[in-house]
Structure formats: structure tokens, C-alpha cells
Structure 1
Amino acid sequence: MANRNRYRPSMKFKKKLLGGGALVVLVGLNAPAVVSFATEKYHAYKIAQPGYKQRYGSWETLDVPKKYRTNAIHAALLHSGKVLIIAGSGNNQKKFDKGSFDTILWNPADNSFRKIPTPEDFFCSGHSQLADGRLLVAGGTARYEVLDGEVDRAGGRMRVKNEDPDRAHTFKKGTRFRAPSGVEFVSKFDVTVPRAKKDFKVSYGQGGRMLPWKTKVTAGEARVFVEAAEKGPQGLRTQAAQYEIVGLKGRDADNLYGIAQKLTTEKQDFQGIRSAYEFDPRAEKYIPVDPMEEARWYPTLVTLDDGKVLAVSGLDDVGAVLTGDNELYDPKTKKWSKGPSRYFPTYPALFLTQGGKLFYSGSNAGYGPAEKGRRPGLWDLKANTFSEVGGLTDLDQTETSASVMLPPVQDQRVMLFGGGGVGESSKATGRTAIIDLKQDNPAFREGPRLPQGTRYLSSVLMPDDSVFTTGGSSDYRGRNASDILKAQFYDPKSNTFRRAADPTVGRNYHSEALLLPDGRVVTFGSDPLFGDADNTKLGTFEQRVEIYTPPYLQGDKGRKENRPALGEGPREVAPNGRATFRTARPDRIAKARLMRPSAVTHTTDVEQRSVDLKLSKGTGTRRDSVTVEVPKDRAVVPPGWYMLFVTNAQGVPSEAKWIKVK
């Protein structure tokens, strides 16, 4: 794919480079190709120069052995320093049909890789960092979508009823439901229907005489996706009807039945799963925990101040956006419970704020109607109230936007970058917006604009308090060769962007970026719809991995001996919130930050946050030490593992030390 944003040399330079008789003839035969070749050669020469790297940074492509290349859909940094790259079926239906699911564990310290057995299809799941360092992964794919025009069997939601108060019933995949007309529908998944509830009501007549009990039976209910057993229009149903379950007899036939409102040949969306797992960084394996009550595909998982995790939104087991059935995971019991009800589009960007409320920036990644759940606001979980905030322009273009809580988190400012129209819209905006949640009646105000309208932008908090943004495209899934090979830093203090080196790999849908413990940034993935500018060839998933080395690690200032460094120290913050580390040169240390590790997918990373720490330097016999103090408010610093960076006066960071906050 051509890079439209590369440096173009002057005509004077081109004439010098292409001078000479033989080259003149060649130019006459194929001038555009030669000029393009010369331009690329000059660009490659320019970005390799030390002065360029020290000003803009540099990119390198990671050498990933073929057997470990995968379609990176999710990426999470673990407190072992390794990166978990989750593909699941990787948006590849052939792999889904084969039950072939991928997870790769990459160690940046020695560039080693390991395949992790993956028990279910975690494609488009949600994830959150737990307090003990495990990664909670919940939801994923039960069934791939079938597009309009490709649905050859009527299908939809079947509500299975159970009026038996004595026991639940399980129906295996393939169970048949027969309509009054005789047309049969087949279930696509196992379904367990809970037993009916029996309530007794006592009433009294004249003189206080107790009357016979009245019994009320409320049928148990579960839902399952069904398809017509035969192809063709005869399976279409537009009115509610009751369906008998084929094979049942006697009392079971009376108590168990199906009800469907509408069975059609319209587009059938992806369907979610209920499964949940914890990935253990020590054992390096997935460990199953209790499943969610609701199936979820495209959910957001966000850690709360008490260490519990809230699962929000997603497509359910029949492909419908959940209407507000959110739930809470307790890492102590490994179980889920009902959470506060609130509707959001899929993958909503929700940030834990001071006081424990969640702020919804308006960023989301896809499914849901354009007129519902798109407005940003503060969500009080305890009262279950939602207060909308104003000021955001291009409100119709928050889908596929990026959001971060600006560093440091104590400032309580959230920034939104770019975004596009709902669904397959070609709209893209260069708008950025910032909101200060400490203000009375907070509202967004416009920030500096991106160089162009951008969807799928990756945004990464850096140890020097800047925000690194990279990639994206100006059209839906990189359509029309619209990948943006640009990167920049946002400076919260000056409220300006500054240029960074251009990446060489385009990143749009299904791409990720995250901060590594050594201060570099790694980028994965990209799932373009087409592979050419004319949209005539199908795109292929981008499996190359690129690493960006920022200017602060270039030249002499980036040498290990010149960087600030932390030596021996604790692995856990003390009850008083303090931690003391040895350091040979405390004079080099100006600031300290706790950086929460990323768990990112679909431009959604609600985990990352940068915490400003109080810093004091040792005296007397402890002059070779520094002490950091962590805020006690767990809404500011949720429990878990963090990277501890110290920086010098020029913003050059140390390598991170991992430390646990209880």
C-alpha cells in the first residue's frame, strides 16, 4: 500500500538522483516508478539518521517466527513483563469452524514466544487486570455473522419455557422445535431451562378463616438461537407462536415448549458466549471460572475501586445488543452477580474516576443504534444514575474513537481522539476533546485537531506524561487505501501535538498498541476490508509487529548508563502507601509514576492510567535511596500490579519496576 504521507524530495534532489543518460531513458519509459523508488530510498535514508531519531524516534519490525504469527485481536501486558496476544479464531471463520483458537505469549526481554492452549473462542471478548495480577477474559464468539443476502434459512430467538417446578431441563444442540404448521426449527447451541417458580398465597375469609392456598407458577425461561431445518422461505415467521419440542412426551410435553416472535432471513449478527477465564501469568494458562449470566460479544470489562470487575454491554447469545444487563465479577469467589442496569453500545470506554463513578467518554466500537447510548456522561453505580455532559462536537462520530484518562490521573481529565460515523460510514473526524471532571458541571472543550479525520487511532500513555498516538485510517476499515501512516505526541501541559516518526505498517480495525516496561511502544494487528485503493481485492490481516522507540531513548540520553535507574526495593507497597528503592544516582530522579498495564482491543483500553507519586530522597546513611508514596484512594489507584517509572528532568524514564498495590 502506497504511503501518501511520506516525505517528497525536491525536484532538484530528484534530478541529481536520476541524472545520467541511462537513467534518463529509464525515466522516459517508467518515470512514476523511478520517482517513487527514489522517494522511498531517500525517506529510508532520512529516517535512519541519528539526528532524525533523536528528534522523532524510530520504528523497527519485530522478527516473529512464522509459527507464532497470529491475528492479534487483543493484547495485554502481564506483570511478568510478557505480552498476551489473543486471537481466538481471529476473525477467520474457517478457523472458527475447525475449533482452532490462538493465544501467543511474547516476552519482549528476549523476544521469545510461546503458544498457549486456548479453550474457547475469545475473539472479541472483554478483559481486565485483576488485583492479584491475573487477567480476566470473559465472553467471545459463539457464532459468526451471516450477512444480508446470504441467509438461506429463517432463524432467530426461541424462548424456551419450563412450567415444571421440580427440575430444570437441558436441551442439546440440535433439539427440534415444531411450529403449529409443522415446520421445524433446530437449536444451534445447548440450552438449560431453569425450573418454574411456585409461589403460595394465603388469604383469609370472614372471621379470620384461612381459605385454600392459591398457587402461582412462573415458568422458567431461557433463550436459544434456532434455524429452520429446511432452506427456503417456508420457515419465515412474523407473528408470535408456541412451538412443541420434538421428542417430548407426557408431562414434559405439557410443561416444556418454545415461543418465538419473529424468525426471518435478515442479517444474523455475531453471537456471544458466557464463558469466563482467568489467565495466570505464573502458570501461563487459562483457568476457568464461573460463566457470566449473559452471553457477551464486544463487551467492556472495567476494574472498580474494590477490585471487582463490571462487565458491560455486548451482543448476546442470539446476536442482539444487551439492553442493560450488566454484571459484577468477584475475584475472591470467582462468581458473577447482577450489576447496575444501563444501556451502552458495544465496547464502551468507561473510566473509573475519583469517588468511584464511571465516566463514559462516548467512545465505543460498533454495535448499537446511532440514536441510543452515544452521549457521554458520569455513571453513579450506587444510585444507578447517569448525568450527561455537553460540549462534545461531532457527536455522531464517536464510534471507533480513542479515549484516555490524561496523565496524571489525579487531574481527572479525559481526552477523546478522532472517531467515525456509525457502522460502515465513511465519516471520520480530526476532532479531539478534553473534559475536566473536577469542575462543577464539567463539559468537553475542543483540543488541538489531528492532522486529518481518523478512526481506530491507538493512544498510549507514556512515562513522561505525554500521550503517544499512532495509526488509524480515514475511512471504515482502511477502505480506499486510507491507512494513516502518521504518529504524534500530545503534550497535556501545552495542549499541543508534536510530530513522531512515521510507522511503516498501516493499522486500522482490530489493531492495538501498548507501553512496554522498557519505555517503548509495540503495535499489533490491523484488519483491512480491502487490499487495494480500488477496493477490488479482499484485505488480509496484518500480522507484522512494529516497535516504536521514542526520542527519550535515542542517542546518549537513552543509553542505559545515562538513564535514571531504580535498584533493590519491595515488590509490594507497604500499608502506609510507601516503597523505598536503592538508586546509585538519586540526583537524576525528578518524578515518579505508577503506570497500570494495558489490556486493549478495538481502540478500547480502559485499564491504562498514570499516577503521580510523592517522591522523597534519602538522607544520612540512606542517601542512595528514593521513597515513593502511593495515593490511598483506590478509585485513583485500583488494586493490582503497576509499572513504577522514574524520570529525570528531561523526561527520560528508567526501566520499570513491577510493584503491587493492595
Structure 2
Amino acid sequence: MLRWFNDASTPEELMVPPHSRVAVSEEATHTDDFRRPSAPKPIMTRETAAELLQLRDTDFPFGMPHARDLLRIKLPDTLVDRLDDLAQQFGAAQYGRWDLLYPLAPNGVAFEIEHAVLRRTSKVMFLADGPNTLLWDPSDETTPKFDMLSDSETGLTVSLLCGGHSFLSDGKLLMVGGGGFSPGAATSSQAWKFDPDSKKWTQTAGLMSTRRWYPTAVTLETEEGPAGHSGQVLIASGQDEEGAAAMELYSEVTDSFTPVTVTGPVTKDFQQLYPGLNLLPGGEVSYVPTGFGNCGSGSVYGLSDTAAYFTFTGAATGQWTEVGPPMNRTKGMSGLLLRRNPPFVRVIAVGGGAPGTSSTVQTLNPSTFSPAWDPSSSIPDGEARVNVATVLLPDGTVFVAGGTQTTTPASWIYDPDTAVTPWRQMDELNAPRHYHSCLLLLPNGKVMAAGGASAGGCTSSVENTIEVFSPPYLFNPDGTLATRPAIVSIDGKPLGDPAIGPTGHYGVHHGHNFVIGTPQADEVAKVVLVRPMAVTHQTDTEQRVLECDFVRTGDQEVTATAPDGGHSHAIAPRGYYMLFVLNGSGTPSMGRFVHLH
């Protein structure tokens, strides 16, 4: 609010606050049915705005250095309440709120994390360089609740730093490669699994075909075994040995790895480590040339590549189809947007690359006969974003934060489903979140940020704090906390039922109906399943927000239909998801874990 008031040079600039100004995506202006939106309603008359500007220039000719100076303006009686009204315009209901919680320092010792994983127990697991495993309970935002597990307790004997990870169908975490800060460590061909119930790590029976450092892991839709309860994970990039396969498959059934053979004229050697890979609803794997390039603090040049998708033609064979033209999104992030209405599927690329692209977002609809990238949408502040983090929120929007050279950069929410003002500026981070930082969605609908290197490049994490962002959907217009809808039972089984477990491991079958008990049944406007995040170096291939069909079937219940898509279930791979119900204002319930199978 202070910045807006200081920067205004004309009355018109004070008549409409920044978040109400109409912006139109470039993509929308090229459509046949585009209609320019009407101007927003002003929050004051031109005469009032002119009077405020005159008072500002008289009392503070060199600008107001502190927000309290706003209260010192000699306002006439007709404007006494004006600042109170304006304060609501700039409150948490519009910009959300970052809260700095406490140091990431169990037992008073900084834990310089590079990996963060949301477990199905609703706790967050952190990993740094070394065999220790740190668990954090995000439910207490006042008193730090850490549980440091040593190698003797978990069975982990190596450093998994700089590995890749994804969730298996039973909720265990598979982590491949890594080996610490040294590329190509002897342990970089290993893979380990973490059981969130026993809190134990176990090494897989087989080794990968090559040492991998900075690999990407993607859970596939494959259903193996007689009961169809096990799947596969595609591991790509990070290879250390010349001539080794760029990709290989991990099988949950055999607990081993098989190199993938690429046929056809197109091959991908993944110049960018941690390449952007996502599972498409048809079973193909999309590739966007995002990922790590080098340790420079600015943009990375010379790593241009063509986006593509990989189609399996056999058990461990397949071919690439490119989606041109070549692009440079190195140090950017990719993701997958799924919708119930057209366009049903979009691949998104955020930031990265040269200055001309690192301040933009692009989307690709792979379902068309000739897929092509849409025109870019510029992030309004124009700042270059490299090593940027993106988090898909339960309401279907995309939260973008970090990756700038600004000390306390603003965050943004991008709404891919609106052509008018798709960007909304959010609150500023308390700490810069650069390389090695981790952002992920918590079950309470907030976003956690932790870790981050120095602004100069590839140091270990120096920002050893935890902060959480409360999106605007958690607030009423006056800034008070909004009343959330509640999930009290699933299929008649109350939350916390001892027979089910305190964290609510409820089973839901693909394509089947399930009943959600909620006292706010008449307010429910959306039911979604959200895949929990496992993020490192800002990279997470698992993010999925799946909207479910539902009907109200009682005063205190709604019946939803789990996503299906047919066998194999590429739309929603088997595993654990957070279930949210949202009301008409977009306010989500607490997320409750369910096992989709």
C-alpha cells in the first residue's frame, strides 16, 4: 500500500489499486471471441484522489519511508476513514500472507536442506547432505516440532543429496541416485525407499545401470503383477558414464531397473539436469527443457532444446516426438494442468532461460493435432526468475515464488483459466529463496518455503528458516480468517477411526463413488484430489490437481466420483492424494489423505 501511494503520479493511479487493474493475456487477444473487459470500478473519486496526492506532496515531499507515515497525513474529516478502507484493499484477502515461523534448526543446529517431501502422515521430511532424516510437524506454527532420525535408526547408510524422487503406489518414497555434493559418487547408482510408517530406509534389490546425479523420476501409470497393484518409475538424466542409457525403468514388482531403448530418429540427451518431465493422461511422458544448467546466478544460455513427448512402444522401448520450435527454459519449472473442461490438458513452463523468457509463462495443449506453445504471458513485475518454484494450489491456480535477485521478492498467483488479469501479486517472501530452496503444498492449504542458497549461485542452503504462505482463499474480505468447510468422514468412516488410522488412510477406487461427510454440504463447490509433493532443486514431477464430479446426496454429505481414465490410470496414478472440498469462495477444507487404487 505504501509503495502504491508513493509511486502514484496522477489521481487516476490512486483510483484503482494495483490488483484491480485489468490486464489481458497476450494469448487471449489472438482468439476470435475475445472481448475487451470493462474497466474496474474505482475505489474513490478523482477529486478525492487528487486531494490525497496534494496532501502527500505537502506533508511528505520526498516520499513516505514507512507505512506509519500514512497515518500522519492531515486528512480532512471526509477522508478520515479512507485509509481504513484502503487497508482492507491491501490486506491478506488480496495478497495472502507469508509468516516466518522459526529457524530450520533442530536442537539449535542449522539443517541445510536440499530435499523436502510431504509424507502421507501429514509430516514433512527434509534431507540434507548426510544420512540423517529430519521430520517436521507443520501443524504447530509456534513451537518447532522436529524429529531427527539418525542413520542407525532409519538404516540409511549414504547421502542421497542431489538424487531424484517420486512416490510409489503404496505411498513409499523412491529416491534414486544422488551421492552428495560430488557428481558421480560411487553410491550414485543406488536407490532407496522410505516407509513413512516404520520410518525406515531400505535399499532396492537392484542397482541402476549407471551413476545418476540430478536425475528426474516420474511415476508411471503402469500396472504390473496379478492384482495390478504395482507400478513403474521412469528415471531420466543425471547419467555419469559415457554411453549409458539416458533413461531406465524401476519396477515395484522386481525391485530392479531396466534400461530404456529409444527408437526412431529423435533422441534426448538431457543437457539440462533435472529435466522437466510429466506423465500425460494418455500414458506418454512430456519433456520441457527446464531443469538445472550451471551455477551462475543469472540466466543460462546455450542450452536450447525442443520440447517433446515420449511414447512407450514396448515394455522398455519407445520413441520421442518433438514439439517445436526449440526453446530455452533452463532453470525454469514445468508442470501439468488437468481440467474437466477444454482444454483438458496443458503443459506449463514457468521462468528460466534468457531474460526475454525468464519473466514469462507459456502453456502447451498436447491434445491438438499439431501441438504448439501458446504466446507467453509476462509476469507483471518483469523480473527474471531462474531456479523458480511453482506450486499447484487446490483451487486450480499456480503459485509462483522465489528465483529472483530481489532480496524479498513478491510472489504471484497465476490463473491459467482466465484471460483477464491472469496474474495477481502476492505478499513478499521473508527470505530470498534461490537455488536449493524447497516449496510445497501443506495439508492445511498453505505453502511451505524452506532452504535456499545465496544469491550468488550454488552454495548449500543458507536460508535455514521455515515460512508459510496463506493464500487469499483462507481469508474473509476484511482480513479475518475464513470459515473452512470440513471433512468429517469418508464413506461413513469418521476421521481418526482407530481401525483406519489417525491420519485417515481411506481407500478410494478409480472411477468409483465415495461419500464425503461434511456439515457444509450445501456450500461445497468443488472436490479435488491433490498429489503430495516431493521437491528438490525446485523440481517436482508429481504435482497433480484432479477435480472430481460430485453431487449433494444429503444434508451433511456429498458423493464424489474418483478420477478414472481407464486402465492404465495415467490421469491419476495409484497412490496417496490429499482430498479437499472447497466452498463457493474457493476456501478449502483441511486436506485428508486417501489411497487411490
Q: Which TM-score applies when normalising by structure 2?
A: 0.73
- Which secondary structure state, in structure 2, belongs to the residue aligned with residue 505 of structure 1? coil
Distance in 2 (CA, whole Å) between partners of 1:43 and 1:547 is 28
User: What do residues 483-538 of structure 1 show as CA deviations (whole Å, max 9, x unaligned)?
Assistant: 5601111111114111111112111111121111111001111112549xxx9xx8
Q: After TM superposition, give the deviation of residue 131 of structure 1 in Å.
A: 0.8
| Equivalence map 1:76-95=2 (5 Å) | 76-87=117-128, 89=129
* Letter matched to residue 458 of structure 1: A
Pairing partner for 2:465 from 538, 544, 551: 544
Shift in CA distance, 370/337, structure 1 to aligned 2, threshold 3 Å: farther
- Which secondary structure state, in structure 2, belongs to the residue aligned with residue 587 of structure 1? helix
- Which secondary structure state, in structure 2, belongs to the residue aligned with residue 115 of structure 1? strand
Shift in CA distance, 556/13, structure 1 to aligned 2, threshold 3 Å: closer
User: What do residues 275-307 of structure 1 show as CA deviations (whole Å, max 9, x unaligned)?
Assistant: 211111111222222332211100000000022
1:552 touches 1:558 (CA, 8 Å); kept in 2? no
Shift in CA distance, 650/272, structure 1 to aligned 2, threshold 3 Å: same
Q: After TM superposition, give the deviation of residue 427 of structure 1 in Å.
A: 8.1
1:401 touches 1:416 (CA, 8 Å); kept in 2? yes
| Equivalence map 1:180-195=2 (5 Å) | none
Name the counterpart of 2:80.
Answer: none
1:116 touches 1:285 (CA, 8 Å); kept in 2? no
Q: Is 2:139 the partner of 1:73? A: no
For the aligned residue pairs, the C-alpha RMSD in angstroms reads: 3.4
Q: Is 2:499 the partner of 1:499? A: no
Shift in CA distance, 627/655, structure 1 to aligned 2, threshold 3 Å: same
Name the counterpart of 2:562.
Answer: 630
Name the counterpart of 1:419.
Answer: 352
Please list every run of 5 or more consecutive structure 2 residues that lacks an aligned counterpart in the other structure. Answer: 8-52, 73-82, 152-156, 223-230, 263-267, 492-505
Shift in CA distance, 580/545, structure 1 to aligned 2, threshold 3 Å: same
Q: Is 2:448 the partner of 1:522? A: yes
Q: After TM superposition, give the deviation of residue 626 of structure 1 in Å.
A: 1.1
Shift in CA distance, 39/623, structure 1 to aligned 2, threshold 3 Å: closer
Greater CA drift, 631-640 or 368-377: 368-377
Q: Is 2:319 the partner of 1:385? A: yes
Distance in 2 (CA, whole Å) between partners of 1:141 and 1:122 is 5
- Which secondary structure state, in structure 2, belongs to the residue aligned with residue 389 of structure 1? strand
Pairing partner for 2:217 from 297, 301, 319: 301
Shift in CA distance, 629/343, structure 1 to aligned 2, threshold 3 Å: same
1:294 touches 1:325 (CA, 8 Å); kept in 2? no
* Letter matched to residue 389 of structure 2: S
How many residues are aligned here? 483
Name the counterpart of 2:136.
Answer: 106
- Which secondary structure state, in structure 1, belongs to the residue aligned with residue 306 of structure 2? coil
Distance in 1 (CA, whole Å) between partners of 2:98 and 2:71 is 11
Name the counterpart of 1:454.
Answer: 385
2:165 touches 2:216 (CA, 8 Å); kept in 1? yes
Distance in 2 (CA, whole Å) between partners of 1:363 and 1:59 is 27
1:378 touches 1:386 (CA, 8 Å); kept in 2? yes
Distance in 2 (CA, whole Å) between partners of 1:373 and 1:334 is 35
Q: After TM superposition, give the deviation of residue 552 of structure 1 in Å.
A: 1.0
User: What do residues 368-405 of structure 1 show as CA deviations (whole Å, max 9, x unaligned)?
Assistant: 9976782101111225211111256xx23x11001111
Name the counterpart of 2:270.
Answer: 344
Shift in CA distance, 584/83, structure 1 to aligned 2, threshold 3 Å: same
* Letter matched to residue 475 of structure 2: Q
Q: Is 2:323 the partner of 1:401? A: no
- Which secondary structure state, in structure 2, belongs to the residue aligned with residue 273 of structure 1? helix
Name the counterpart of 1:363.
Answer: 290
Distance in 1 (CA, whole Å) between partners of 2:58 and 2:244 is 64
2:290 touches 2:334 (CA, 8 Å); kept in 1? yes
Name the counterpart of 2:366.
Answer: 437
Name the counterpart of 1:144.
Answer: 182
- Which secondary structure state, in structure 2, belongs to the residue aligned with residue 376 of structure 1? strand
| Equivalence map 1:572-611=2 (5 Å) | 572-574=507-509, 576-611=511-546
Shift in CA distance, 552/315, structure 1 to aligned 2, threshold 3 Å: same
User: What do residues 417-436 of structure 1 show as CA deviations (whole Å, max 9, x unaligned)?
Assistant: 11025xxxx88621321101
Distance in 1 (CA, whole Å) between partners of 2:312 and 2:524 is 39
Shift in CA distance, 583/448, structure 1 to aligned 2, threshold 3 Å: same
Name the counterpart of 2:435.
Answer: 509
* Letter matched to residue 323 of structure 2: V
Higher-Rg structure is 1
Shift in CA distance, 513/370, structure 1 to aligned 2, threshold 3 Å: same
Shift in CA distance, 375/62, structure 1 to aligned 2, threshold 3 Å: same
Name the counterpart of 1:292.
Answer: 208
- Which secondary structure state, in structure 1, belongs to the residue aligned with residue 113 of structure 2? coil
Pairing partner for 1:486 from 391, 410, 413: 410
Name the counterpart of 2:29.
Answer: none
Distance in 2 (CA, whole Å) between partners of 1:441 and 1:550 is 36
- Which secondary structure state, in structure 1, belongs to the residue aligned with residue 358 of structure 2? coil
Q: Is 2:395 the partner of 1:464? A: yes
* Letter matched to residue 161 of structure 2: F
Distance in 2 (CA, whole Å) between partners of 1:438 and 1:107 is 40
1:483 touches 1:507 (CA, 8 Å); kept in 2? no
Name the counterpart of 1:277.
Answer: 192
* Letter matched to residue 524 of structure 1: A
Greater CA drift, 341-350 or 405-414: 405-414
Distance in 1 (CA, whole Å) between partners of 2:460 and 2:59 is 38
